[in-house]
Amino acid sequence: MNQESFTTSQLGLPILEVKNLTRRFGGLVAVNDVSFTITQFEIFGLIGPNGAGKTTLFNLMTGFITPSSGQLLYHGADFSQLHPHQIASLGIGRTFQNIRLFAELSALENVRIARDCRIKTNTFKGIFGLPPAPREEQKSKQKALELLELVGLGERLDEKAKNFSYGDQRRLEIARALALEPQILLLDEPAAGMNPNEKQQLSKFIRNLRDKFHLTIILIEHHVPLVMGLCDRIAVLDFGQLIALGEPSVVRSNQAVIEAYLGND
Ligand SMILES: Nc1ncnc2c1ncn2[C@@H]1O[C@H](COP(=O)(O)OP(=O)(O)OP(=O)(O)O)[C@@H](O)[C@H]1O
């Protein structure tokens, strides 16, 4: 196990269950009868070759698409038919493989929009479309500033998102997802576009996020050393099917995984 501040006994309560989940696109079965359970505070990796169904699984978990069959349970309740904003307000936040920031808005504005959405969906005033009280406004700004500081962008609040490097845009997306105060954070290829130095720091950063916010983290990642060093457990997909699930050392030596994805190196 790869956690410093969480003990094995603290891991264990199911937070997200994937039950016989299938998604078809016409004749193609992108996710094929996949089942597994993710426990609270786990860092859970999803790996597999291109086109294996990883992003489709993320899109199912966040309501961007609905399952053809099967169930998704969050704290035991089926959420597979909910819309993305409903799932976000339940406490499941995400970043995207192809970064989706508001390019023309500043870093601060990008985070504040997410923060304000959370307030709108969770407060009486928000529900009735009233503007937030000045104190809430101030609190919201303060929280956004803290998150930007946390991801290392505290000095660049007013810069437009489009002017950030790839790695910094990924960090900004994480700050934006955290503004929704999720319990589960889904990261779609967080290391993509990062330089070797940034990649090295990413493991520590993700583990710190889990510890600080008591998060459960699910990540898709092609950078195998990062996944193996960071994740508590790893699920391997191939042609939509779950071919292996377990701790990194177990997955690494699984023959089917070596053949489908890792190779013999
Ligand atoms: N909206 C869609 N319509 C039709 N086919 C789709 C759609 N989304 C995904 N697919 C197909 O489903 C399969 C799984 O795709 P998916 O993007 O989930 O794979 P992936 O494991 O995330 O791949 P990568 O590592 O390249 O991102 C692929 O064959 C893809 O072409």
Please write the tens of the pLDDT for every residue from 208-252: 999 999 999 999 999 998 999 999 999 999 999 999 999 999 999
Number of structural domains found in the chain: 2
Where does a domain end: 180, 208, 231?
180
- Closest residue by Cα to atom 3, ligand 1, is 25
Answer for the pair 53, 237: CB distance below 8 angstroms, yes or no. Answer: yes
Residue 167 lies in a domain: yes
Where does a domain end: 130, 163, 180?
180
Q: Is the CB of 55 under 6 A from ligand 1?
A: yes
Residue 216 lies in a domain: yes
- Give the type of residue at 127: I
**pLDDT for res 125:** 52
How many Å lie between the centroid of ligand 1 and the Cα of residue 81? 20
Residues 16 and 79 in one domain: yes
Residue 96 lies in a domain: no
Among residues 98, 101, 95, the alpha carbon closest in space to that of 113 is found at 101
Q: How confident is the model at residue 8 (pLDDT cuts 50, 70, 90)?
A: very low
The ipTM assigned to this model is 0.97
| Residue of 21, 25, 65 to test ligand 1 pocket, by largest number of atoms within 8 Å of CB | 25
Contacts of 224 (CB under 8 A, 6+ apart): 47, 262
How many Å lie between the centroid of ligand 1 and the Cα of residue 55? 7
Q: Which of the pair, 92 or 3, is modelled with greater confidence?
A: 92
Contacts of 223 (CB under 8 A, 6+ apart): 191, 199
Please write the tens of the pLDDT for every residue from 41-74: 999 999 999 999 999 999 999 999 999 999 999 9
CATH of the domain at 33: 3.40.50.300
Residues 190 and 110 in one domain: no
Q: Is the CB of 32 under 6 A from ligand 1?
A: no
